[in-house]
Chain A
Amino acid sequence: MSIANKANRLTPYVFMAPAAIILAVALLYPIGYMIYASFLDWSPSQRIGEADFVGLRNYINLMHDAAFRESFWVTVKFAAVVVTLEMFIGVGLALLLDRNIKGMSFLRTIFILPMMIAPIVVGLMWRYMYHPTVGIFNRTLKDWGFEGIPWLSDSTWAFVAVVMADVWQWTPFIFILSLAAMQSLPRSALEAAEIDGASEMQKVIHIKLPLMLPVLIVTLMLRLIDAFKVLEVIMVLTNGGPGLSTEIVAMRIFRTAQEFQELGEAAAMSNTLLMVLMALTIGMFAYNKMQEGRAAKMQAMAAKGTA
C-alpha cells in the first residue's frame, strides 16, 4: 500500500521529467549561455572558457555600429509596415467575407497554405517572380509595354518586394483570426442594432470593431513579434541587400556569427533583439490581464444588477 502510494506521489514528477530535462538542457541553458556570451570576446574556434571577458564592450560597440543601427531601423520599419498593411487588409477582408457562404472552409484551407510552406520555399517562389527578365511581374509589365522594375537590385524596390512577400504569406493569419473573432460576436447586439435601423457601416464601426478590439490587439501583437523574427524569406530574396536596405536584425545576427565570426557581438545583438521582443510580449500580457480584469468587473456589476 505504501509503495503504491509512493508511486502515485512520484507519478507527476515522472511525467514531467523528460520534458523538463530537455527544456533545461536545450532551451534555458542556451539562452542563459547567450546572455553570458554577450559579455565575451569570442570567436568560433575558441571554447567559451578561453574567451576574454570584456564587460559591456560588445554592447557599446553595437551602439556605435552604424550598420547595426541601420539594421535595427530596417527591422522596425519592416515590422511596422507589414503589420499595418496586414491588419488593414486582413480585417477588411474578414469584414467583407463574414457571411454564411458555402465553401468558406475550403477558402480558409487555401488561405493557410502560404503559412504552412517553408519560408525558404516562399522566398524561392518570390525570387523567381521578381526575376528581372524571366519573372512573371517584369514579363507582364513588358507585355503591356512598360519598363521592367528592378525588384531586387534597387534598394527601395527591394524593400517593397520583401514587404509584398510577407504580406502575401501572413495576411491570411490576421484574416483567419479576425474572422473567428467576428463569428463569435454576440448576435444579440447586432440584431438590436439592425432593429434600430443601423446601416452596415454603422454596425461595423460602432459594434463589430469595438467588440473585436481585444482579439485584434492580441493578433497584432502576435504578428508584430513574428515580424521581428522573419529571416529566411528575406535571406533567399535579397540576402539583406542591396547594401543594407533589407538587412533586418535577425539577418545581421546570422551574418555576424557566420561570416564575420564574431560570436560575442552576435550574442549581444541577439540579446538586444530578445529584450525588444520581451518588452512587446510583456506589453501584450499586461493588456490581456487588464482586459480580463475589466471583463470580471463588468460581470460582477451585471450580476449585482440582476440580483
Chain B
Amino acid sequence: MSVQKETQNPLFYMLIAVLVVMSLGPILLMLATSFKTNVDVYDSSVSAFFFAPTLANYETVLCDVLWYEPSHVDYCDPTFGRALGNSLFVALISTGLTLLMGCMAAYALVRFKFMGRGTVSMTTLLMRMVPPAVLLVPVFGIWTFQYGLDGTFTGIILVYTAMNLPFVIWILQSFIVQVPIQLEEAARMDGANPIQIFFLVVLPIIKPGLAAAAIFTFRIAWNEFLLGNALLDRNTRTVPVTIVNSITEYDINWGVIMATGMLLAIPPIIFTFVASKQIITGMTAGAVKG
C-alpha cells in the first residue's frame, strides 16, 4: 500500500479544496445574496461576500407568515407564504402515499412472486425515461376535461404519486429481498395475519430503504415545476411555480428572489446532510448492482 504515502501530496489537497469551492460556491453566493439589499446587489463597490447583511429579503418573502409586521414592507404579498404551505402539503402527502403504496406493492412483488425482478426493473427504467415534458400534454388534457382535477391538490398529488411509484417500488424491492423469511414465518406461527406481518415485522426492518425512497420522492415533488405550472391555479401554486412567475425579463429584485430560492433549497440541503449515505445508495442502485 505505497499509494497511501502519496496522499500527503499538497497538490492533492489543493485539488480537493478547489472542487469543494466550485461545488459550494454558487450555493454560498445565493445564500450571501439573499442577505443583501437590492442597492448593494447593484453597487459594484460592494463585495460579493462581505457586506452588511440584512434579513429584509426574508421578511419580504415571509411577511404573511411572520408574527410581526416588518417595517420596510409597505404591501404584504401573501403569494409566497401560501406557496410555501402548498408545497409542503403537496410534497408531504404525496411522499406518504407513494411510500405506503410503494412498499405494499414491492412486498407483494417479492414475497408472492408476482413478476420477476427483471420485469420490474425494466418497467422502472422505462418510466424513469419518460420526461415530465412528455406528460405535460396528456396530464393537462385528462385532468382538466375528464377527471376535473385541475387546480386541485388531489390532482397534483395524483401525478406526483404516479411519477414516483416505479422508482420507490423498485428500490424497496431490493431491501425487502434481504428480510429473512424465517422472521415472517415465526410471526405467522404466532398467529399474525399478512397485514400484521407486513406492518409489524417487515416495515421496521426496511427503515433505511424507506428513508432513501422518502427523500427521493419528497425531492421530486418539492422541486417539480412543469406539471405544477400546468395544473395548479393561483391559490394552489407551489414554490417553484411562484418563482418562475416572479422572474421577469428586466428589473429582477435579486435579493428577494435569492431568499425565495434559498427557502426552496433548504429542505433538500438538510436531507443531504442528514442522509447522504441513503441518497448515494439510491443513486448508485441504478448502475452499480446492489
Contact = CB atoms under 8 A, between A and B. Distances in A.
B83 to A, nearest CB: 12
B101 A22 contact: yes
Given A22-B162, A99-B3, A229-B132, 10 more contacts: A11-B194, A48-B141, A96-B12, A96-B15, A100-B4, A112-B283, A121-B265, A218-B286, A225-B128, A281-B129
Contact of A15 (B104, B140, B264): B104
23 contacts: A16-B104, A18-B105, A26-B158, A30-B138, A30-B139, A96-B12, A99-B12, A100-B7, A101-B7, A107-B19, A113-B23, A117-B27, A117-B223, A117-B268, A119-B225, A125-B30, A177-B283, A231-B226, A254-B133, A258-B230, A271-B134, A278-B129, A280-B129
B161 interface: yes
Given A18-B101, A273-B131, A108 B261 contact: no
Contacts of A160: none
A259 to B, nearest CB: 13
Interface size grouping (class) on chain A: 35 or more
A112 B276 contact: yes
In this complex, which of B22, B109, B111, B136 has the most chain A Cβ atoms within 10 angstroms of its Cβ? B136
Interface in B58-98: none
Contacts of B277: 105
Given A136-B29, A254-B226, A270-B136, A22 B165 contact: yes
A54 interface: no
Interface size grouping (class) on chain B: 35 or more
Given A20-B105, A129-B26, A274-B134, A263 B141 contact: yes
B223 A119 contact: yes
B189 interface: no
Contacts of B141: 33, 37, 42, 44, 48, 263
A120 interface: yes
Interface in B90-146: 100-102, 104-105, 107-109, 111-112, 114, 122, 125-142, 144-145
Interface stretch (A60-68, A80-88, A168-176, A298-306): A168-176
A99 B133 contact: no
Q: Top 8 nearest A-B pairs by Cβ distance?
A: A26-B162, A118-B223, A12-B112, A30-B138, A19-B105, A15-B108, A229-B131, A250-B133
A260 interface: no
A141 B94 CA distance: 46
A120 B225 contact: yes
Contacts of B107: 15
B162 A107 contact: no
Interface in B176-221: 193-195, 198, 219
A124 interface: yes
Given A16-B105, A273-B133, A118 B265 contact: yes
B26 A270 contact: no
Nearest to B149: A26
A215 B283 CA distance: 13
Contact of B138 (A33, A222, A280): A33
A274 B100 CA distance: 29
A235 interface: yes
Contacts of A121: 30, 243, 261, 264-265
B232 interface: no
Nearest to B135: A30
A33 B165 contact: no
B258 interface: yes
Contacts of B135: 27, 30-31, 34
Contacts of A225: 128-129
Given A126-B26, A215-B287, A281-B126, A112 B280 contact: yes
Interface string B261-276: 1001100110111001
B254 A128 contact: yes
B264 A113 contact: no
Given A27-B127, A118-B240, A125-B27, A107 B166 contact: no
B136 A254 contact: yes
Given A31-B130, A116-B271, A16 B114 contact: yes
Contacts of A115: 283
Contacts of B130: 31, 274, 277
B244 interface: yes
Contacts of B55: none
B33 interface: yes
B50 interface: no
Contact of B269 (A37, A117, A124, A228): A117
B244 A120 contact: yes
B24 interface: yes
A263 B137 contact: yes
Given A33-B141, A47-B145, A254-B133, A12 B114 contact: yes
Contact of A108 (B41, B162, B226, B276): B276
Nearest to A174: B287
Given A18-B104, A176-B280, A124 B261 contact: yes
